[in-house]
Amino acid sequence: MPQNNIVPLIHTIGTAIPPFKISQETHHAILESANGMSREEKLRMRKIYSKSGIKYRHSVLDEFDGEDVPQNKIFHPAGDITTSVSLRMGIYEKYAADLCKQAVLCCMEDLPELKREEITHVITFSCTGMYAPGLDVELVEKLGLQKNVERTCINFMGCYAGINALKNAYHTARSQPDAVILLAGVELCSLHYQKSNEQDQVIANALFSDGAAAAIVSARNFNKKEKKPALALQHFYTEFDNAGITDMVWRIGDFGFDLRLSPDVPHVVQDNIAALVQKLLEKADLTQAEIDHYAIHPGGMKILEACEQALGLSHEQNEISYNILSEYGNMSSVTILFVLQAYIQNLSNTDKGQKILACAFGPGLTMESMIVETVI
């Protein structure tokens, strides 16, 4: 049985992005010139891209920042070429594990006291690809982990799966105090580009990108030589509002994963986020005044602005989330770990006891939240 004084920590977070950098300005220009859109459709797309808050995104493929040519596997804005799900999944299987491995290696570089054979659990998460034997098995092989490591796969939950994975790690560490849990997530959103002038798809084409993230969670003390801040996992709360059940939908279609992303999503978030946060605070016996920082999933500019308005936050309090959005776009479930990593890098040994409230959103419409505290 778990003991009440067991406190699981995020000891370190590592991230990785693929090599091909997509300029948002160039990508928009290519789409606008190649898509055969009406003037009204071009104006609508220009507005979506100009208000995205994104400068750059990344992809495992080099074709999204260049002209539409026959050699492209997915990006064909000028033609009527359809790309099968099997081809997209073949590309995912080719690149996902290696990108995820980069994030894990980055993660473990910051915790040299941890030996790979000490990892007891692996939790993988992704919503942009699946195969079996899958990402979990490949990582065990590529990293040289023990074959008897316990594996859990979180698939197809959407942008909030990173917090869900942390919650799973929290419960595992509480029930098994000696556990060392590796979280590893990867999203290759660019593989699901769809040629379409429908507003939902234009928004998706403008926001999503590729990335990977990893974290080590454990209640163990690793006797770190370099005393860097860690994050104590303390409280979680999740809820979905079925009023937004059709506003964010992610399904497998004949020619790719089909995303419905309604312009109403920020309104649903704004209408519900304050009540969600209040329930989390009540569970933690805290007030909002006791929260020092906010780590909000940068699903888009309007999502961040909606949270600010509902929670009474300033733009500056969301600065890290805006910066991640600008430099990387929305990388779905791994994005929240990019935000938390930035906080860890900015915190110092004098910031002990500071509390961070994190939240992310996904299909349902689901809102997942947690509170972590800085420890040294």
Could you tell me if residue 367 is inside a domain? yes
Could you tell me if residue 281 is inside a domain? yes
Cα dist from 106 to 16, 141, 184, whole Å: 8, 17, 12
Structure tokens at 350: 């004098």
pLDDT at 2 over 60: no
- Going by pLDDT thresholds of 50, 70 and 90, the confidence category of residue 221 is confident
> Between β-strands 121-126 and 150-155, what pairing exists: parallel, antiparallel or unpaired?
parallel
Domain that holds residue 349: 230-375
Could you tell me if residue 301 is inside a domain? yes
Could you tell me if residue 313 is inside a domain? yes
Could you tell me if residue 362 is inside a domain? yes
- Going by pLDDT thresholds of 50, 70 and 90, the confidence category of residue 290 is very high
- Going by pLDDT thresholds of 50, 70 and 90, the confidence category of residue 225 is low
pLDDT at 3 over 90: no
Cα dist from 100 to 112, 163, 195, 287, whole Å: 19, 17, 28, 37
Structure tokens at 226: 């370099």
Q: Are 163 and 125 in contact (CB under 8 A)?
A: no
pLDDT at 19 over 90: yes
Could you tell me if residue 141 is inside a domain? no
CA triple 244-249-250, angle to 5 deg: 155
Number of domains in the chain: 1
Could you tell me if residue 272 is inside a domain? yes
Structure tokens at 269: 């978030």
Span 327-367, pLDDT tens digits? 999 999 999 999 999 999 988 777 888 999 999 988 878 88
pLDDT at 307 over 70: yes
DSSP string, 159-228: TTHHHHHHHHHHHHHHHSTT-EEEEEEEEEGGGG-----SHHHHHHHHHB-EEEEEEEEESS----SS--
Residue 244: per-residue pLDDT: 67
Span 105-119, pLDDT tens digits? 999 998 988 999 999
Check residue 70 and report its DSSP letter: T
Could you tell me if residue 168 is inside a domain? no
Q: Are 154 and 162 in contact (CB under 8 A)?
A: no
Check residue 68 and report its DSSP letter: -
Secondary structure element (H or E) that encloses residue 284, with its range:
helix 265-284
Span 164-211, pLDDT tens digits? 999 999 999 999 999 999 999 999 999 999 888 888 888 888 999 999
Q: How far apart are the first and last CA of the chain?
A: 27
Residue 1: per-residue pLDDT: 35
- Going by pLDDT thresholds of 50, 70 and 90, the confidence category of residue 93 is very high
Helix (H, G, I), strand (E, B) or coil at 124: strand
What residues does 337 pair with on adjacent strands? none
More confident residue, 262 or 373: 373
pLDDT at 76 over 80: yes
Q: The domain that contains 337 carries what CATH number?
A: 3.40.47.10
> Quick check: pTM over 0.75?
yes
Structure tokens at 155: 């698939």
Residue 197: per-residue pLDDT: 82
For residue 84, count other CB atoms closer than 10 A to its CB. 11
pLDDT at 371 over 90: yes
Structure tokens at 196: 């379409």
What percent of the chain has a predicted confidence (pLDDT) above 70?
97
- Going by pLDDT thresholds of 50, 70 and 90, the confidence category of residue 4 is low
What's the average model confidence in pLDDT over 241-250?
71
Residue 66: per-residue pLDDT: 85
Q: Are 181 and 216 in contact (CB under 8 A)?
A: yes
Residue 349: per-residue pLDDT: 76
